[in-house]
Amino acid sequence: MPVELTVRAVLFDMDGTLIDSTPAVDRAWATWEARWGVRLGVRASALGRPARDIVAEHVPPERVDEAFADIERLEVADTDGITVLPGVRTLLAALPADRWAIATSCSAPLAAARLRAAGIEPPVLVTASDTARGKPAPDPYLEAARRLGVPAEACLVVEDAVAGVVAGRAAGAAVLGVLGSAAADALGADVVVPDLEAVRVERAGDALHVVADQAGDAPDRRISRI
């Protein structure tokens, strides 16, 4: 069933939302875990959080910088198999250049490497290098909205990870969840779609009219942030 959302800008997560880097992420972190004698207990590609925060939970404080530099090197070096997810190119092409941004938990070097591999050039890019706090804090989405010159509460956040949905909600934005990293009922988004082929957008004056064919049998809804 469709959900209609009226917003002024769209703020995208990157991994799992616009691109699939799962094999590369999991290869790099598996190597890192073996080197550092660490067990994350979950696929790194499903976490949706800055790597430095994850590293800091598993190594002594005095070794965090070294361990983070190690995983960053591993990830930047491995972009093999990165693909653009269904519907992404069509949706991005339909958005005005001044009305969308990417806010990712990747560091700046890693985001640049993956976007280059995917052939995506965002007009605004916020990385873990740009804010003091990463997801699930709202800072990345607040900064992306600020750079676009649009209030965060007038934005739609598009996310695949629970931490990112929490960040979008904390920023005051409406949140559209994409299936992949978590089940629909675990995401906690305003609407959930199977992928971005289920999303269409048109510009209507100063507004963006977004129609999402949601997963499941939820009723039709209209959400306005204008």
Residues taking part in catalysis: 13, 15
Is residue 140 within 8 Å of 131, Cβ to Cβ?
Answer: yes
Backbone angles phi, psi at 120, to 5 degrees: -115, 130
Angstrom distances, CA of residue 164 to CA of 139, 202, 207: 11, 25, 24
- Residue 208 sits at φ, ψ, to 5 deg, of -110, 125
Tokens of 176: 């559209």
- Please choose, from the candidates 27, 26, 31, the residue with its C-alpha nearest in 3D space to the C-alpha of residue 45: 26
∠ CA 41-71-123 to the nearest 5 degrees?
Answer: 105
Place of tokens 């900064």: 143
If residue 118 lies in a helix (H) or strand (E), which one and from where to where?
A: helix 108-118
Return d(Cα 13, Cα 181) in angstroms, integer.
12
